[in-house]
Homo-oligomer: A and B are copies of this chain.
Amino acid sequence: MQRAAALARRGCPPRAAGPWSRRWSSAPAEAPAVLPVRRGRILTPESMNPQVRAVEYAVRGPIVLKAGEIELELQRGIKKPFTEVIRANIGDAQAMGQQPITFLRQVMALCTYPNLLDSPSFPEDAKKRARRILQACGGNSLGSYSASQGVNCIREDVAAYITRRDGGVPADPDNIYLTTGASDGITTILKILVSGGGKSRTGVMIPIPQYPLYSAVISELGAIQVNYYLDEENCWALNVNELRRAVQEAKDHCDPKVLCIINPGNPTGQVQSRKCIEDVIHFAWEEKLFLLADEVYQDNVYSPDCRFHSFKKVLYEMGPEYSSNVELASFHSTSKGYMGECGYRGGYMEVINLHPEIKGQLVKLLSVRLCPPVSGQAAMDIVVNPPVPGEESFEQFHREKESVLGNLATKAKLTEDLFNEVPGIHCNPLQGAMYAFPRIFIPSKAVEAAQAHKMAPDMFYCMKLLEETGICVVPGSGFGQREGTYHFRMTILPPVEKLKTVLQKVKDFHIKFLEQYA
């Protein structure tokens, strides 16, 4: 054994495995004498965690992998009917050319490299923000771990923001948890909520169409997915009678305990009315459901006749019977809105009526991963604590913010109008968020062709769209849709002129597709 070790130490691989391994082995007699060069693996698709195997995530699924392959082919000079892949599959604003908000990046740079605090080329209000954040960090550095729940003064700023947003409804920093993007918060609270076995396994109600994070986390946790369908004929509105149908049916096979709402909707873009939110909250109270309100698009409302109402605000205004009973977690993020800072992975969760011991459990669970990225926490702070009138940076900040949101509003209308010109495409108004989710007619011949390729018909459609135009969108089957209906999700993030080209290409493709499979 010593000799083998010595050999190896000198970096000499032994010539003969067998005798060497025998010399080597201090193993029991039954140990194999000869080492085969390739034996079966320990971790295989068969032996892996089946709950992880069941996870699906369409937004970065096969269509996106295909888009990557095509980009490589283009780089290798392989000729295509197009010169670039346009990734309209994911809400990644800056990847589509949106410029960062100057003030946000100035504060971030000052926090990153505090020597810049002496630089005359940074505005005082940015320096003020940076100093405040750094003073709250261990060793005045973004490089220290923060508290598991997040930096205290940032949680205070978040609470102040929510209070302003909700017209004075109080928010308690103790109820704020900074997160690694909204996905992390949603995953964490679901992780705590899921329990039971068999018929008493936790059921989680999600909208269909949904953002596939929800179905993915439900699979991973082995919870039961309970679908409620949004009403496409009614601008994707949420109908409480449909919630009631879904929960009643679910009770036969699981314990429905959680109701997830996405408002403004992803992928559907509807903005819920105040009345609808009241009905949902009453339903949650009635059925004893824990409410999850995904409100990451709260700044992305475009229809003049729509307004964002937070579940928290409506809950309080419905009176103490609700505000002291309904358990609610709501989520926000640095990734969407007007800032589109996806890469920093910043976000927060606010919890209402959470059991005190559960708060402790939550902090314990969060502490295992130590803390959310402190740079993402800093980005979140600037989102909730932006320049105010009178401050040096206010005008530029305001101009940049309004320009992004104004552009998105223009593109939302443009997209709706252009899609609705196309025979066989129907698109509901994009009231908010940053996606179109048009319904597409797929002829039966195309459905058969798709089946022949063992593909969902809308996957088949989107693959052909990608291969023929370079435009990457996500099939509706990745979000869920009523049986026999087909959709795709496309972001409205490309710059206006580029978006017009994209829409024209989709139109031409669709008409050609209808002819081809008539």
Interface residues of A (CB under 8 A from B): 4-5, 8-9, 11, 13-14, 17, 21, 24-27, 31, 35-39, 41-45, 47-50, 52-53, 55-57, 59-61, 90, 92-98, 100, 105-106, 108-109, 112-113, 116, 119, 121, 137-139, 141-146, 148, 167, 180-181, 183-184, 187, 191-195, 213, 216-217, 220, 240-241, 257, 274-275, 278-279, 282-283, 285-286, 288-290, 314, 317-322, 324-325, 327, 339-345, 353-355, 357-358, 361, 364-365, 367-376
Q: Is the CB of B13 within 8 A of A195?
A: no
Q: Name A375's contact: one of B17, B283, B344 (CB within 8 Å).
A: B344
Chain B residues closer than 8 Å to A314, beta-carbon distance: 8
- In the complex, which residues of chain B have a beta carbon less than 8 angstroms from the beta carbon of A26? 240-241, 279
A–B pairs, 12, beta carbons within 8 Å? A27-B282, A37-B320, A38-B324, A49-B193, A52-B191, A57-B364, A93-B143, A94-B139, A97-B139, A105-B113, A143-B339, A183-B369
Within the complex, what minimum Cβ distance (angstroms) separates A314 from chain B?
7
- A372: chain B residues at CB < 8 Å are 345
Q: How far is the CB of A315 from chain B (nearest CB, A)?
A: 10
- Point out the residues of chain B lying under 8 angstroms from A35, CB to CB: 285, 321-322, 325
Q: Is the CB of A367 within 8 A of B139?
A: no
Determine which of B60, B139, B217 lies in contact with A98 in the assembled complex, contact meaning CB atoms within 8 Å: B139
Q: A26-B240, A41-B353 are in contact. List 5 more A-B contacts (CB 8 A).
A: A37-B321, A48-B195, A60-B148, A143-B343, A220-B368
A321: chain B residues at CB < 8 Å are: 17, 21, 35-37
A122 CB to nearest B CB, Å: 9
For the complex of A and B, the 7 pairs showing the least CB-CB separation, nearest first, are A95-B138, A343-B374, A35-B321, A109-B113, A13-B319, A60-B367, A95-B144
Given contacts A43-B358, A320-B13, contact A343 B146 (CB under 8 A): yes
Q: A320-B37, A368-B57 are in contact. Are A8 and B278 (CB under 8 A)?
A: yes
Nearest chain-B residue to A138 (Cβ)?
B95
Q: Is the CB of B343 within 8 A of A144?
A: yes
Q: How far is the CB of A250 from chain B (nearest CB, A)?
A: 15
- Find chain B residues with CB under 8 A from A17 CB: 319, 321
CA–CA, A342 and B139, complex, Å? 12
Q: How far is the CA of A36 from the CA of B319 in the complex (A)?
A: 12
Within the complex, the shortest CB–CB distance from A242 to chain B, in Å, comes to: 12
- Shortest Cβ gap from A40 to chain B (Å): 8
**Closest-CB distance, A31 to chain B (whole angstroms):** 6
Partner of A192, one of B49, B92, B285, B339: B49
User: Would B180 and A373 count as touching, CB distance under 8 A?
Assistant: yes
Interchain CB contact under 8 A, B327 and A94: no
Chain B residue contacts of A279, Cβ below 8 A: 26
Closest to A108 in B: B112
Closest chain B CB from A181 CB (angstroms): 7
A191 CB contacts on chain B under 8 angstroms = 49, 52, 220
B217 contacts A368, C-beta separation under 8 Å: yes
A137 to B146, CA, bound (A): 27
Shortest distance from the beta carbon of A393 to any chain B beta carbon, whole Å: 14
Task: Let me know if B370 and A183 touch, CB within 8 A.
Answer: yes
The CA of A31 and the CA of B192, in the complex, are separated in Å by: 28
Partner of A275, one of B5, B42, B141, B361: B5
Q: Are A144 and B108 in contact (CB under 8 A)?
A: no
Instruction: Report the separation of the CA atoms of residues A283 and B282 in the bound assembly, to the nearest whole angstrom.
Output: 60
Given contacts A49-B192, A191-B49, A195-B48, contact A290 B43 (CB under 8 A): yes
Question: Which of A142, A144, A192, A372 is most buried by chain B, counting CB atoms within 10 A of its CB?
Answer: A144
Q: How far is the CA of A217 from the CA of B49 in the complex (A)?
A: 14
Closest Cβ of chain B to A244, distance in Å, is: 8
| CA gap between A187 and B195 in the complex, in Å | 20
How far is it, in angstroms, between the C-alpha of A370 and the C-alpha of B347 when the chains are bound?
A: 14
Shortest beta-carbon distance, A251 to chain B, in Å? 13
Instruction: Enumerate chain B residues within 8 angstroms of A353, measured Cβ to Cβ.
Output: 41
CA distance A355 to B31 in the complex (A): 24
A342 touches B370 (CB 8 A): yes
CA distance A53 to B365 in the complex (A): 9
Residue of B nearest to A11 (CB): B317
Q: Looking at the assembled complex, report how far the CB atom of A11 sits from the nearest CB atom of chain B, in whole angstroms.
A: 5
Bound CA span A56–B368, Å:
8
Question: Contact partner of A137 among B8, B119, B343, CB < 8 A?
Answer: B343
Q: Out of B216, B368, B376, which one reaches A183, CB within 8 Å?
A: B368
- Say whether A144 contacts B42, CB under 8 Å: no
- Check A43–B192 contact: CB distance below 8 A: yes
For A319, what are the chain B residues with a Cβ–Cβ distance below 8 Å?
A: 8, 13-14, 17
Contacts of A121 in B (CB 8 A): 119
- A373-B141 contact, Cβ under 8 Å, with A13-B319, A321-B21: no
